[in-house]
Amino acid sequence: MPHMQFLTMPFPGVRHWMCLAGQCLRRGVLALLTGCIALSPLAHAAVAPGAQGFGTGDPELGLIGELSGIAFNGLVAGDGQGWVYGKADTYTSCNNCAGRGGFALAENGGANTPSVAFFRAATPGDRFGVSGVRIYNPSPANTGMTVRGYRNGSVVQTVSLTLTRISPMLVAYDLGLTDVDQVSFTSSHDWFFAIDDLGIAPRPTVTGVSPVSGAGAGGTAVVITGSGFTAAGYPGGTAVRFGTTLATATVDSDTQITATAPAGTGTVDVTVTTAGGVSATGAASQFSYVASLLPQTISFANPGARNFGTAPTLTATATSGLPVSFSSSTTGVCTISSGGVLSFVATGNCTINANQAGNGSYDAAPQVTQTFTVNPVVPGAPTAVVATASDTQASVAFADPASNGGSSITGYTVTSSPGGIVGTGTASPILVSGLTNGQAYTFTVTATNAAGTGPASAASSPVVPRSAQSILFSNPGPLTFGTTNTLTATATSGLPVTFSSATPAVCAITAGGALSFLTAGTCIINADQAGNASFLPAAQAGRTFQVNPRLGLANTVPGMTGLANATLSGGGATCTLVGGDTRFMTPSGMPSGRTAPHGGFEFRAVGCVGSVTITIAYPEPLPAGVAFWKFGPASPGAASSWFAWSGATLSGDRRTVSYTITDNGVGDGDPAAGAVLDPFVPALGGAADAVSIPVDAPWALALMSAVIGWLGWRRASRAAPAA
Q: What is the pLDDT of residues 153-182, one digit of tens each?
A: 888 999 999 988 776 566 788 888 888 877
pLDDT at 88 over 50: no
pLDDT in tens, 592-628: 889 999 999 999 999 999 999 999 999 999 999 999 9
Compare 47 and 452 and report the one with higher pLDDT. Answer: 452
Residue 422, amino acid? V
Give yes or no for residue 428 having a pLDDT over 50.
yes
pLDDT in the model for residue 675: 93
Alpha-carbon distance 111 to 93, whole Å? 20
Can you tell me whether residue 623 is helix, strand or coil? Answer: coil
CA distances 125 to 128, 180, 199, 200, 280, Å, are: 10, 9, 19, 16, 11
pLDDT, residue 445, reads: 98
pLDDT band at 375 (very low <50, low <70, confident <90, very high): very high
Q: What confidence tier does 194 reach under pLDDT thresholds 50, 70, 90? A: low
pLDDT average, residue stretch 30-57: 27
Is the confidence at residue 427, as pLDDT, over 60? yes
Per the CB < 8 A criterion, the answer to whether 306 and 298 are in contact is: no
- Give the pLDDT mean for 201-217: 87
656 close to 617: Cβ distance less than 8 angstroms: yes
What integer is the mean pLDDT of 645-659? 94
CA-closest candidate to residue 376, choices 451, 467, 295, 266: 451
Per the DSSP assignment, residues forming a β-bridge with 394 are 389, 432
Is the distance from CB of 531 to CB of 495 less than 8 angstroms?
A: yes
Segment 265-280 shows an average pLDDT of 90
- Tell me if residue 703 falls in helix, strand or coil: helix
* 32, 14 contact by CB (below 8 A): yes
Strand, helix or coil for residue 700 = helix
C-beta neighbour count of 367 within 10 angstroms: 12
pLDDT at residue 328 tops 90: yes
The phi and psi torsions of 531 (rounded to 5 degrees) equal 80, 180
String of b and e for 325-344 (b: at least 16 CB within 10 Å)? bbbbebeebbbbeeebebeb
Taking the C-alpha atoms of residue 598 and residue 586, their distance in angstroms, rounded to an integer, is 8
Q: How confident is the model at residue 129 (pLDDT cuts 50, 70, 90)?
A: confident
CB atoms within 10 A of CB 519: 21
Q: What is the structure's pLDDT at 168? A: 59
Task: For the chain, list the domains and their CATH numbers.
Answer: 17-202 (2.60.120), 205-290 (2.60.40.10), 298-375 (2.60.40.1080), 383-453 (2.60.40.10), 471-548 (2.60.40.1080), 552-683 (no CATH)
Task: Give the DSSP letter of residue 181.
Answer: S
Of the spans 82-86, 294-298, 697-701, which averages the highest pLDDT? Answer: 294-298
Adjacent-strand bridge partners of 444: 415
The whole-number pLDDT of residue 700 equals 39
Q: What is the pLDDT of residue 195?
A: 64
* Contact of 490 with 538, CB cutoff 8 Å: no
Residue partners of 61: CB distance under 8 A and separation at least 6: 10, 54, 55, 85, 87, 90, 92
Computed on alpha carbons and rounded to an integer, the radius of gyration of the chain in Å comes to: 59
**pLDDT higher than 90, residue 105:** no
State the CB neighbour count (10 A cutoff) for residue 123.
10
pLDDT at 139: 72
Calculate what percentage of the chain has a pLDDT beyond 70.
Answer: 74
Chain segment 292-310, per-residue pLDDT in tens? 778 899 999 999 999 999 9
**Over 70: is that where the pLDDT of 661 sits?**
yes
DSSP 531-594: --SSBPPPPPEEEEEEEEPP-EEEEE-TT-SSEEEEEEEES-TT-EE-GGG-EEE---SPPTT-
Global pTM? 0.41
Residues 6+ apart with CB under 8 A from 563: 554, 555, 556, 619
**Helix (H/G/I), strand (E/B), else coil: 706:** helix
What pLDDT score does 554 carry?
Answer: 94
Q: Region 566-589: what's the mean pLDDT?
A: 92
Q: What is the mean pLDDT of the chain?
A: 78
Average pLDDT of the residues in 675-702: 62
Which position has the higher pLDDT, 125 or 181?
A: 181
Whole-angstrom distance, CA of residue 288 vs CA of residue 239: 20
What distance in Å separates the CA atoms of residue 186 and residue 426, rounded to the nearest whole number? 90
What pLDDT, on the 0 to 100 scale, is given for residue 321? 94
pLDDT at site 278:
87
Average of per-residue pLDDT across 246-262 = 93
Q: What mean pLDDT comes out for the span 225-236? A: 73
pLDDT tens-digit readout, 48-79: 222 222 233 333 333 333 323 323 233 332 32
Q: Are 226 and 272 in contact (CB under 8 A)?
A: yes
Which of the pair, 454 or 72, is modelled with greater confidence?
Answer: 454
What pLDDT was estimated at residue 124?
65
Distances (CA, A) of 50 to 99, 117, 128, 176, 570: 4, 17, 16, 22, 98
113 band by pLDDT with thresholds 50, 70 and 90: low
DSSP-derived pairing of the beta strands 213-215 and 286-290: parallel
Instruction: Mention every residue, 6+ apart, whose C-beta is less than 8 A from residue 707.
Output: none
Q: CB burial class (10 A; 0-12, 13-18, 19+) of residue 291?
A: exposed
> Residue 580 pLDDT more than 80?
yes
Q: HEC profile for 79-139? A: CCCCCEEECCCCCCEEEEECCCEEEEEECCCCCCCCCEEEEEECCCCCCEEEEEEEEECCC
Q: Does the pLDDT at position 143 exceed 50?
A: yes
Q: Are the CB atoms for 410 and 426 separated by under 8 Å? A: yes
The most confident of the ranges 76-90, 451-465, 629-643, 707-721 is 451-465
Average pLDDT over residues 126-130: 77
Cross-strand partners of 223: 210, 258
Q: Give the Cα separation of 396 and 438 in Å (integer).
A: 18
Report how far apart the first and last C-alpha atoms of the chain are (Å, whole number): 122
Q: What are phi and psi of 31, to 5 degrees?
A: -130, 110
Contact in structure between 37 and 169 (CB atoms under 8 Å):
yes
Q: Beta-carbon neighbour count of residue 465 at 10 Å?
A: 23
3-class secondary structure, 605: strand
- pLDDT band of residue 362 (cuts 50, 70, 90) is confident
